Structure 1
C-alpha cells in the first residue's frame, strides 16, 4: 500500500514526530504542504492530512491543499497534535472528504508541546509530548489503516 500524508508542522515539530512514527511502518511519503512541488495524489492508495491544531482547526495550508489536490473517492485519514484539546478540528476536512466522496478511515490525535501565545508565559503546556506512548499509538493507528485497506 502506498500512502501520502500531506502535512504542516512547525513550532516544535510535534506533528512531524507523529508522522515519522507512522512512516516507520513503511509505504509512506510525507508531503510538506508548504513546499513548492508537483503533486499527483492519484498515484496513492490512501491519503492522510496532518497538522497541529491552531485555534480549533487544522492549519489553513493543509485545508487549502486538501481542497486543491484531494482526488475524488480516495480513502483518507487525519492526524493532529494539540496543546489543549482536539475539539472539532477535523470538521472542515470531513466536509472536504464528503464533497469529494472520500471514505474517512479514522482520526488520530495526541498532545503536543505548545508554547503559542499566552502559553509561552508559563513555559508551555503538554510538555514532553508527543511521548513514547503517543508515538506507539500513532504507529498502531497507521497499522490498522493499512490492514483495513488490504
Structure 2
C-alpha cells in the first residue's frame, strides 16, 4: 500500500503533528497542501486529507484540493484538529469526497490548541493539545484505516 497524507496546518501546527503521526504509522508520504499536485494521485493507493478547522471549516487550501482532485474510485480518509465544539467538522469534506466517487474509509478529529478570535483573550483553548494521548489515538486510527484498506484489496 502506498499512502499519501496531505495536510493544511497553520498557527500552532496542530494538524501537522497529527499528520506526522498518521504518516509514520502508514509509512506514507507526507506533504503540505501547497506542495500538492493533482498528478500525484495516480501514484498512491490511499490518500489522507487533513486540516485544522477555521471558523467551522477546513482551510481553503484543503477545500480547493478536495474540490479539484480526481478522486473517483480512490480510497481516502480525513482528519482534523479543532479548538473545540463541533465534532462533525469532517462531515463537509466527507460529503464532497463521496460526491466525487471516493471511497471514504474513515475520519479522525481531536482538539488542538486554539488562540483564534475570542479564545486569545483567555490564553487559548485546549492548550497542550494535541497531546500524546491524542497522537496515540491518531496512530490507532491510521492502523484501523490500514486494516480496512487491506480487507478491501
- 1:16 is matched with 16
Deviates more, 1:82-91 or 1:95-104: 82-91
Q: Unmatched 5+ residue regions in structure 2?
A: none
Unaligned runs of 5+ in 1: none
Q: Which residue of 1 aligns with 2:92?
A: 92
How high is the TM-score relative to the length of structure 1?
0.92
Higher helix proportion, which one?
2
Q: Which residue of 2 aligns with 1:57?
A: 57
| Residues 38 and 149 of structure 1: CA distance in aligned 2, closer, same or farther (over 3 Å) | closer
CA distance in 2, matches of 1:27, 1:87: 27
Tell me what 2:101 maps to. 101
> What is the CA distance between 1:34 and its match in structure 2?
2.0
Query: Which range moves more in the overlay, 24-33 or 127-136?
Result: 24-33
How many residues end up aligned between the 2 structures?
Answer: 150
CA-to-aligned-CA distance 1:81-140 (integer Å, 9 cap, x gap): 011134432232122212221111111011100011111111000011001100000000
Look up the match of 1:115: 115
TM-score normalised to structure 2 length: 0.90
Separation in 1 of the partners of 2:21 and 2:9? 14
Cα gap change, 1:76 to 1:26, in 2 (>3 Å): closer
Deviation at 1:38, TM superposition (A): 6.5
> Which is further off, 35-44 or 124-133?
35-44
Alignment-derived partner of residue 131 in structure 1: 131
